[in-house]
């Protein structure tokens, strides 16, 4: 009889694991069943704000592989609209509910299990309401529900976005593109708390230039409703009228079922796994994606950084190992980019607060430069910030904010960070130059050179 692999979660990590396992083992040797609560598999959640804002016309454009493709081309028994509600490790069994058939219970035995349940939105008590018009943006089904509300009658005119992280600022821009009046409320001193406040201030300036009302350093305390629909967001500094509220308060690992089953949970709240994505001390069980914790290559500490890049890599590694190959996950440095109107934001490594918490002594430098030679048409400003270990000169983190061709420059810094380079070594990097693409001294090199002076 064929060995059976059961996958919990049908997005990036889960289906990457399933497809890699299938590439290494055929259907006669390994049967694969995948449970997914929603309607979609292998989709780009990061693209949902652009779908909502109208830059992406059709939801199908965000789907890499649909359930039919997995069934036909990969012989994976994908069961959408099935919510896993229990895992019995002793009996090697998963319990799910068929949401399309009245919650009918389904039980599936397994020899190998991949737990890839992703993340769930952080939802404070004040956000728990029965009022219509309050949305999180975590799944494709969430995006579809939000678009239905925007297209409904009466059409909303005033939006409040709570939370100024990646999803928050991207959804605020999407609401502007939809023609709504938008307020963004963020508890931290500046939006985009994944960068330091001085860089976040540049993001706030760009958002205000879009016509948004940005209220940073403000906490939300409640919601008001009228006739079953959301009517306002209550903050510590006043009430904001709202016909639609979008929650962008971040996420936490979706590990409730894992914890109930006895899987080990780390200090970040994510599942503890080894280098091969095997759940610690649990034979035959693997975990990947936004439900696991990773090791930060700079601090050496466990961290929780939910990004699609990590999820795809971790799922692939789990699948290769399940298939009989050998692969390891080398950790993360937390590289991420986003766009806010015309402003590009990139970051990698540690922020100042994170570097201090890890025990590093460091210096910071910040330089202003341009994306191209200053005399070349289309030259735009760019700000580069480096965080550097004192004395050794090792790069600890970097952030870039600029108007054009800025965000992907963070990749140069991510490579330097990954390889534990010093700013002295970075200052001598042989980077490409031509006036349409960079000044003769690229902004990355200018920042590295300034950092060398600072540590000396």
Please list the active-site residues.
46
CA–CA gap between residue 230 and residue 244 (Å, rounded): 7
> Are the beta carbons of 248 and 171 closer than 8 angstroms?
yes
DSSP string for 402-456: ESSS-GGGHHHHHHHHHTT-BHHHHTT------TTT--SS-HHHHHHHHHHHHH-
> Are the beta carbons of 55 and 67 closer than 8 angstroms?
no
Between the alpha carbon of residue 360 and those of residues 103, 193, 335, 363, 365, the distances in Å are 52, 20, 20, 10, 16
For residue 256, the SS3 value is: helix
Q: Nearest CA to 255 among 232, 236, 230, 273?
A: 273
> Are the beta carbons of 172 and 48 closer than 8 angstroms?
no
Per the DSSP assignment, residues forming a β-bridge with 278 are 286
CA–CA gap between residue 121 and residue 82 (Å, rounded): 20
CA–CA gap between residue 350 and residue 360 (Å, rounded): 10
Q: Which helix (H) or strand (E) holds 337?
A: strand 336-340
Tokens for 110, please give them.
């397994």
Per the DSSP assignment, residues forming a β-bridge with 63 are 43
The residues, any chain, with a CB within 8 Å of residue 168's CB and separated by 6 or more, are 161, 162, 184, 186, 191, 246, 248, 249
Tokens for 13, please give them.
């990590």
């Amino acid at each position: 009889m064929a060995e059976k692999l059961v996958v919990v979660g049908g997005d990036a990590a889960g289906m990457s694991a399933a497809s890699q396992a299938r590439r290494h083992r055929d259907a006669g040797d390994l049967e694969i069943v995948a449970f997914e609560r929603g309607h979609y598999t292998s989709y780009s959640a990061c693209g949902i704000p652009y779908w909502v804002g109208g830059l992406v016309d059709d939801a199908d454009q965000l789907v890499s592989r649909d359930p039919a493709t997995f069934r036909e081309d990969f012989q994976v028994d994908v069961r959408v609209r099935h919510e896993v509600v229990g895992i019995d490790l002793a009996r090697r069994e998963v319990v799910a509910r068929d949401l399309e058939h009245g919650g009918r219970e389904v039980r599936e035995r397994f020899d190998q299990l991949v737990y890839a349940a992703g993340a769930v939105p952080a939802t404070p008590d004040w956000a728990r309401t029965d009022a219509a018009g309050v949305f999180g943006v975590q799944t494709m089904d969430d995006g579809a529900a939000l678009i239905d509300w925007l297209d409904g009658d009466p059409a909303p005119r005033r939006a409040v976005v709570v939370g100024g992280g990646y999803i928050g600022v991207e959804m605020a821009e999407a609401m502007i593109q939809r023609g709504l009046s938008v307020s963004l409320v963020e508890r931290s001193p500046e939006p985009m708390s994944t960068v330091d406040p001085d860089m976040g201030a540049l993001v706030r300036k760009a958002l205000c230039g879009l016509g948004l009302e940005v209220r940073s350093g403000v906490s939300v305390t409640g919601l008001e409703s009228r006739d079953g629909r959301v009517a306002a967001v209550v903050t510590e500094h006043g009430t904001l009228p709202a016909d639609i509220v979008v929650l962008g308060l971040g996420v936490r690992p979706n590990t409730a079922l894992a914890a109930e089953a006895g899987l080990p949970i780390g200090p970040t709240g994510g599942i503890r796994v080894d280098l091969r994505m095997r759940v610690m001390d649990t034979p035959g069980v693997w975990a990947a994606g936004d439900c696991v914790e990773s090791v930060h290559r700079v601090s050496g500490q466990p961290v929780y950084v939910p990004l699609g890049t990590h999820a795809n890599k971790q799922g692939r590694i789990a699948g290769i190992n399940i298939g009989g190959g050998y692969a390891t996950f080398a950790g993360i440095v937390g590289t991420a980019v986003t766009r806010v109107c015309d402003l590009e934001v990139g970051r990698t490594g540690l922020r100042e607060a994170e570097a201090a918490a890890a025990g590093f002594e460091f210096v910071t430098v910040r330089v202003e430069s341009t994306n191209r030679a200053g005399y070349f048409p289309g030259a735009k400003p760019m700000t580069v910030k480096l965080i550097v270990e004192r004395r050794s000169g090792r790069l600890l983190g970097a952030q870039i904010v600029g108007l054009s061709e800025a965000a992907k420059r963070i990749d140069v810094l991510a490579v330097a960070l990954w390889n534990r380079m010093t700013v002295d070594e970075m200052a001598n990097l042989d980077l490409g130059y031509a006036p349409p693409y960079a000044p003769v001294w690229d902004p990355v090199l200018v920042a590295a050179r300034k950092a060398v002076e600072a540590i000396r």
